[in-house]
Structure 1
Amino acid sequence: MARLVVKLGSSTVAHDDGTLRADVVAAICAAVADRRKAGDDVVIVSSGAIARGVQLLGMGARPRAIEDLQAASAVGQGRLFRAFDDLLEGRGVTAAQVLLSFPDLVSREQYLNARATLSRLLELGVVPVVNENDTTATDEITFGDNDFLAAQVSILVGADRLVLLTSTDGVFTADPRIDPSARMVEEVDDPAELEALRITSSTSTLGSGGMRSKVTAAEMATAAGIPAVVCNGLRPDALPRALAGEPEGTRFAARDLGISSFKLWLRYAKPSHGELVVDEGAARALREGGTSLLPVGIVEVRGDFSAGDAVDVRDGGGVLGKGIVSLDAAELRAVAGLRTDALRAKLPKAAEEAVHRDYFVLV
C-alpha cells in the first residue's frame, strides 16, 4: 500500500474560459479509483474553484478584487466537488470535501485535528478532495497557491509520493511555448540544480500558480522526504504511470532535511515583505542557539510590513533566514536596539520577540 497525493492545477481542471475539462477530470478520477481499489490511499488537491466560478458567474476573466475571487470560489467550489464526487462514486469510491485554510496548518491544535480527520477518512477508504477555503482566506492569510497546499498536505498525511499535474509534460530548461530548443528535465536530485534554468511563474488565464510554484512545491515535499513528480495531467496515461512509480514527467528525488511542515512552508512559499539586519551576536544566536530574535539585536529595519508578515533576517554576510514578525515595521524601527525593559516602557503591549523562534527558519 502507498499513500499518494495528486494535485490538479486550474489548467488541468478547466479550459481557459473556465468550462470543466470533463474528459480529463474523468480520466484522473478513473486513475485515482484504480489506485484506491488496489489498496492505496489517495488524496486529491484540486485548484479550479475560482476558474469554474468565474465562468458560471459570467465574469469573463479572473478578477483581482478579493471579494470577487471569494464570490467566484463560493460558486465554483460546490460545482467542482460535485464533479469529483459523481465521477468517483460512479467507480465505487466515496469522496469527501475538505477545505483547509492557512491557520489550520499553523495552529498546532488545528494542525493535529486536520491530520486526524484526513487520516480517518483514508482509513475509511474515502478519497479526500482538498482545496483552500478561498471564501474566507485573505491575501495576508493564505497558502498563495494550491501547489504549496499540496506539498503541505503531503507532509500532513505522510505521503509516499506527490504528483503535481500541469498542462506540460514536465519541467523544461525554458518555456517550450517560446523556446523550441527547450528540453524536459527528467530527474532532479537537488532542486538547486534548476536555479540556472528559465523557469517562469506564467500561468493559465484563470490560474494562479505556474511552473515556478510547482518546482517550489516539489522542493518542499522532497525536503520532507517525499518524492515528487511534475507531469502532464492532460495526457491520459501520465497519471497512472506516475502513481505507479514508473518514469514519467520530471521526477524529484526525496531529501529529508528534518524541517517541520510549517517551517518548510515559511522557507519556500511565504513571500518576504522586508528585511531585518541584525548584529553579530544576534546572528550567532540564531545560527547556533535556536533562539528568538529580540529587538536589541536589530540594527536596521528595511521595508514596510505588518505584524504577521514574513521578513528576511540578515547580517553583513547575507541572508540568515526568514521569520514572521510580531511587530510592524514602524514599531520595530521604534524599538530596534532596545533591551526588553526599555521596549516594555515604550510599547507596553508589544511582544518581547521581534521574531519568535517557532516562526523562524534558517535558509
Structure 2
Amino acid sequence: MPNQRLKSARRIVVKVGSNVLTAADGLNLEAVEMLSAQISTLVDHGLEVLFVSSGAMAAGLRKMGMQRRPEEVPQRQALAAMGQSSLMKAYETAFARHGKKVAQILLTGEDLNSRKRYLNARNALNTLLDWQVVPIINENDTVMVEEIKLGDNDNLSAMITLLMDADFLINLTDIDGLYDKDPRRHPDAALIPRVENFKKSIERFAGDIPGALGRGGMLSKIKAAKKITAAGVPMIIARGTQPDILSRLFSGECCGTYFVPRAKRLNSRKCWIAYTLTPKGTLQLDDGAAEAVLHHGKSLLPSGIVAVEGEFGVGAPAALASREGGTIGIGLVNYSAKDIRLIMGSKSGQIKERLGTKPYDEVIHRDNLVITEAC
C-alpha cells in the first residue's frame, strides 16, 4: 500500500532532522549532497518536492564550538541566524550541481494562523513549484517566541503537507523508524513497520525514543503522523542516513514505518481549521450536542453549550469538549465568548431576546467545524 501511494503521488513533503544533517565538525555535507541529489532526481521525474530541513541551530552550535543548545532564547535565536546561512549555502551549492535552484522559506505559527498569510504562503510555494524551484522550509527561529512558535519541524512538516495539499510526507531521522523501544540502547528493539491506529502503546514507545540535537524526538513525529493521517495523508518515518533512501522508497522497497491514512481526505480549509489554528478557548458541550456534532454532521447550537472557557472574539477558533473533558473538535465561532455565555443553553429563537440581535442561528456552523476525536 505505501508503494502504491508513493507511485501515485504528485506532490510530497520531505522532512530531514538535525541528527541526519550534523557531523562532529558542523554540517554533514555528505548528507546534504546525498539528499540534494535524490530530491533533484525526483524533480526530474516530474514530482513536486517541498523540503523541510532542520539543522540551522545545530550548525550554529558547531560554529560557536558549543556542545548543547543554551537555555536563553536570545542565544538560541542568534545561533539559528548563524546556522541558517550555512545551511542554505550548502543546499544552494549541492542542488546547483544537479541544475536545480532553491528558495528559503522561514515561517512562524503566526504566519499559518492568519488565513491571509496562510494563503499568501501557499501561493508563493505554488509559484516556486511551478518554476521547478525546490522550497527549503524551516521555522523562523531567529524571531521565534512562545506565542508564535510552531514547536518543531515535525509539526511544521505536517502543517506544510496540509497547507500544500501534498500526497505524502516522508520524515527522515537518524533511526530506521518507530521501534517498541529505543534501538540505540536496546539491541532487542523491534521495528514497527505499519501503524493503522494510534493506541496508547504507540505514544509510549515513541516517548521512550528522544531526539538529541533537535527539539523533537520520536513522539513529535507520532503527533505529526496523527495530524496528517487524520486528514487522509500517509506518512513514512525512515532513516535519512541510508544510502539512496528516497530512491529506494520510490522504487518500492519497504523501509521504515508506514502510517496508514484515514480513508476520507479533508479539504484544505478544514485542514487549516483543525490542524493549524490554535484554539483561543473551549466550549463544553452536553451529551446531546456532542452526539449531534460527532455522529450526525450537525452545526453547534447554543442550546448544547454548558460552559465557556477563555476570552475570544467573533471568528476565533475554539475547541469543543465533551462533558468528560476530551476535545472532540475545533471550529470558528459566530459569537464572542462574552455573547456565548449569554446565550448558552438557550434555543436559537431566544438569541435575539438575549443579545438584541441574531446574526446567526449557530454558534459554529458545520462548514466551519472539524471533528478531531478520531485523532
Q: TM-score range by the shorter chain?
A: 0.7 to 0.9
Indicate the SS of the match to 1:195.
Answer: helix
| Alpha-carbon distance, 1:274 to partner | 8.7
| 1:244-298 deviation digits (Å, cap 9, x = unpaired) | 4431111223324443557657766889899764444654565456546869934
Indicate the SS of the match to 1:179.
Answer: coil
| Alpha-carbon distance, 1:187 to partner | 2.0
Read off the aligned partner of 1:138 and give its amino acid letter: V
Read off the aligned partner of 1:43 and give its amino acid letter: L
Residue 169 in 1 paired to residue 176 in 2? yes
**Mapped contact 1:295–1:336 kept (Cα < 8 A):** no
What is aligned with 2:148? 141
Q: Distance in 1 between matches of 2:365 and 2:82?
A: 39
2:120 to 92, 113, 119: 113
| 1:37-81 deviation digits (Å, cap 9, x = unpaired) | 222222210011111122223443212333222222122111111
What is aligned with 2:6? none
The RMSD of aligned alpha carbons is 3.8
1:36 to 37, 43, 48: 43
Read off the aligned partner of 1:297 and give its amino acid letter: I
**Mapped contact 1:281–1:297 kept (Cα < 8 A):** no
When normalised by structure 1's length, the TM-score is 0.79
Read off the aligned partner of 2:230 and give its amino acid letter: A
What is aligned with 1:71? 78
Aligned pairs for 1:1-363 (under 5 A) are: 2-15=10-23, 19-192=26-199, 195=202, 197-200=204-207, 202-260=209-267, 264=271, 277-280=284-287, 283=290, 286-287=293-294, 291=299, 297-299=305-307, 313-323=320-330, 337-339=341-343, 358=368, 361-363=371-373
Indicate the SS of the match to 1:172.
Answer: coil
* Fraction of identical pairs, as percent: 35
Change (3 A) 1:218 1:341: same
| Alpha-carbon distance, 1:8 to partner | 0.5
Q: Distance in 1 between matches of 2:175 and 2:353?
A: 57
**Mapped contact 1:175–1:200 kept (Cα < 8 A):** no
**Mapped contact 1:278–1:297 kept (Cα < 8 A):** yes
Indicate the SS of the match to 1:199.
Answer: helix
Indicate the SS of the match to 1:130.
Answer: strand
| Alpha-carbon distance, 1:129 to partner | 0.7
Q: Distance in 2 between matches of 1:206 and 1:130?
A: 18
| 1:200-231 deviation digits (Å, cap 9, x = unpaired) | 26543321011111122223223333222110
Change (3 A) 1:113 1:271: closer
Q: Distance in 1 between matches of 2:199 and 2:62?
A: 38
Mean Cα displacement is larger for which, 52-61 or 32-41? 52-61
Mean Cα displacement is larger for which, 122-131 or 94-103? 94-103
Change (3 A) 1:115 1:296: same
Indicate the SS of the match to 1:97.
Answer: strand
| Alpha-carbon distance, 1:87 to partner | 0.4
Change (3 A) 1:266 1:244: farther
Q: Distance in 2 between matches of 1:324 and 1:65?
A: 36
**Mapped contact 1:286–1:293 kept (Cα < 8 A):** no
Structure 1 residues not aligned, in runs of 5+:
346-352
**Mapped contact 1:186–1:250 kept (Cα < 8 A):** yes
Equivalenced residues, count: 348
| Alpha-carbon distance, 1:343 to partner | 9.9
Q: Distance in 1 between matches of 2:88 and 2:303?
A: 47
